[in-house]
Amino acid sequence: MLQQKTAIAKFVSDALSLPEADVSTMIEYPPNPELGDLALPCFRFAKTLRRSPQDIAKDVAGVLSATGQFASVEAVGGYVNVKLQRELVFKDVVRTLQEDPEKLFSRKRGVGRTAAIDYSSPNIAKPFSVGHLRSTVIGQAIVHMLKADGWKVVGINHLGDWGTQFGKTIVAYLKWGDEEVVRQNPVRELFKLYVKFHEEAQANPELEEEAREWFKKLEDGDPEATRLWQWFISESLKVFRSMYDRLGVTFDHYLGESFYNDKMQAVVDELRDKNLLVESEGAEVVDLSAWNMPPCIIVKSDGATIYATRDLAAANYRHDEFGADTLIYVVGAEQTLHFSQVFKVLELMERPWAKNCKHVAFGMMKYNGERMSTRRGKVVYLEDVLEKAVDEARKIIEEKNPNLADKDAVAEAVGIGAVIFNDLKSYRMHDVDFRFEDVLNFDGETGPYAQYTHARACSVLRKAEESGFQPADDFQVMGVHDSEWRLIYQLGQAQEVLERAVDDLDPSLIARFVLDVCHAFNRFYHDCPILSAEAERAQRLALTNATRKALAYGLHLLGLKAPTAM
RNA sequence: GUCUCAGUAGCUCAGCUGGAUAGAGCAACAGCCUUCUAAGCUGUGGGUCGGGGGUUCGAAUCCCUCCUGAGACGCCA
């Protein structure tokens, strides 16, 4: 629809001698399809032109009407309502999709740009819980979206592989751990020990001191501490990688916090050279009071660095080594202040790219209305959620389509799709209370619904092929049914949707779009015979094929698989 | 206490760069499978858009204020 908007804006801006871009952004989609396909409210022109909106609308309608490029143009109140030539848009949209679905979505605005995205970033020796799901799936979707818009993207898993919690885990393991038991199920057992540590530490605060000592040993390169630490990491990574495989999540780099251990002194030195560090309560900080923020601690009073220092080092590394001009952090909203501080310090360090640092924040995942707590062992394992979702999918397949080939693979795709989509569709700053009943619901606005619609389109195309029909590029459009038009109309908005999703770094817009297309397709499917229609068969097959491609692409952007049957 | 973010139908949310009668899904109820996958489609009921002010031709959308909830607020990340 962007093309049509541009065309209208051009005529209007010529006629009223107003900037084309201003007019273009004012063109909107009427609330009611009866009114038209596109509309231009003229109220805002009234002041500058010193005429009534109704008058202007009438003039504009006359101008657009005279071009002969629109099916109808009407001035209603202060609005100009335009109906498009359905046949032309139909052909245009369908052909673009048949040729290359990516073209419908993108103008490749990001060519030449590089973004480094930090997402997922779980902690070593802790369970991969549903709490990590949001960062993981949102980050992965943003990776796909940016790539679609032409960006070069570097995906980074900033693993929590350093810090005093390793002292705690080591102490707990040495005190209460059984190597055999831990080897059976390392991450869960180590986590149990970690929880036990916190329980015991309530009564015996000296445990904390022991933990600190063990972490100090680790920092000093003690062989025993290092061996255990590395073991924790390799076992955790095994679990994480299996989660990522199932979720279809990939990274270009696994660079944990420890990777920056030797890169932080340079940050401290530079800050000192630039006179940005001041002493405060024994620590060295960057004063940010001019920006209404608390100081950013760089060196703690015990001389050690802290996460802000680490994030500064990591930011420099991502820019310098990966050539990233844009840094994106998909991290919970509770770290908003931290990132504002880090970004401000980067600016003070005169990094011109500091203004391109973005924190993609999201609300907290809760369970039974309560915050999940790793310390108290209150977590929902993602593994368990995926298992339940896949079981549910398998159950529904047995019930509805027992003869389906590849049942296990489809159940996996659908179950996991349900989990991913559920987290993506309503992405906002809202906190989410995790509920199995929501994730396991496959009706309505869900991943399985979108996948089902795609499979349905595939099924029609299979049936067509069996009867000797193929979707062709050169088809005649023999009139466009309202339901066909609704579908085309939705598909035509792909580019605007992707561009806004990229600009806002918001995958939920894509999810919404996919749902809208699905609804329009299912309505079309219900209202319009495809195979049995003589005259319209060609155009409807082409439309079905085009929709199939658009849905597959949209699902791909979100990180969902698109089975061809289910 | 200060700052940030949220508050739209019973529930979950969309709409928020101001525009036409506030939209979906779930749940409830009522229809639609001898015909391309009913994980679908259609319809009904359901709203002081947290309250109150203001700006505007026009406010769910912008500003102020209050209420409620969540989070952050220096040596964890």
pLDDT digits (tens, 9 = 90+) for A181-226: 999 999 999 999 999 999 899 889 899 999 999 999 999 999 999 9
Q: Give pLDDT, residue A368.
A: 84
CA of A484 and C1' of B17: distance in angstroms?
31
CA of A292 and C1' of B67: distance in angstroms?
26
Give me chain A's average pLDDT, please.
Answer: 95
Q: Give pLDDT, residue A512.
A: 97
CA of A536 and C1' of B49: distance in angstroms?
44
Q: What are the CA-CA distances from residue A510 to residues A145, A409, A497 (Å)?
A: 9, 25, 7
Q: Is the CB of A164 under 7 A from strand B?
A: yes
Q: Give pLDDT, residue A54.
A: 93
Q: Is the CB of A79 under 7 A from strand B?
A: yes
Q: Give me the A residues in range 228-257 that sit within 7 A (CB) of strand B.
A: 257
Mark the nucleotides of strand B covered by protein, meaning any atom under 7 Å from a CB: 3-6, 12-15, 17, 19-21, 23-27, 35-42, 57-58, 70-77
Identify the architecture of domain A2-84 in CATH: 2-Layer Sandwich (3.30)
Q: Is the CB of A288 under 7 A from strand B?
A: no
Rounded (5°) CA angle A501-A505-A507: 60
Determine the Cα–Cα distance for residues A217 and A439; give it in Å rounded to an integer.
Answer: 44
Q: Is the CB of A456 under 7 A from strand B?
A: yes
Q: Give pLDDT, residue A73.
A: 96
Please enumerate in sequence order all residues whose Cβ is within 8 A of that of A235, keeping only pairs 6 or more positions apart, or say none.
A186, A187, A190
B74 C1': nearest CA residue: A297
User: How much of chain A is in helix, strand and coil states, percent to nearest 5?
Assistant: 60, 10, 30
Q: Give me the A residues in range 166-195 that sit within 7 A (CB) of strand B.
A: none
Q: Give pLDDT, residue A62.
A: 96
Selected from 3.40.50.620, 3.40.50.720, 4.10.910.10, 3.20.20.100, the CATH number assigned to the domain covering A114-367 reads 3.40.50.620
Asked if ipTM goes beyond 0.85, one says: yes
Q: Where are the domains of chain A?
A: 2-84, 114-367
Nearest C-alpha neighbor of A235 from the set A165, A172, A178, A161: A161
Q: What pLDDT, in 10s, does the model give residues A243-252? A: 999 999 999 9
Q: Is the dihedral of CA A377, A380, A384, A386 positive or negative?
A: negative
Closest nt to A395 (CA→C1')?
B39
Q: Which residues of chain A have pLDDT under 70?
A: none
Q: Give pLDDT, residue A428.
A: 85
B17 C1': nearest CA residue: A25
Determine the Cα–Cα distance for residues A428 and A412; give it in Å rounded to an integer.
Answer: 27
CA of A485 and C1' of B16: distance in angstroms?
28
DSSP, res A445: S
B13 C1': nearest CA residue: A426
Nearest C-alpha neighbor of A207 from the set A232, A155, A170, A238: A170
Please enumerate in sequence order all residues whose Cβ is within 8 A of that of A104, keeping only pairs 6 or more positions apart, or say none.
A93, A96, A97, A491, A494, A495, A550
Closest nt to A45 (CA→C1')?
B57
Q: Give pLDDT, residue A327.
A: 98
Three-class HEC string of A124-136: CCCCCEHHHHHHH
What's the N-to-C CA distance of chain A in angstroms? Answer: 32
Q: Is the dihedral of CA A553, A554, A559, A565 positive or negative?
A: negative
Rounded (5°) CA angle A455-A459-A460: 125
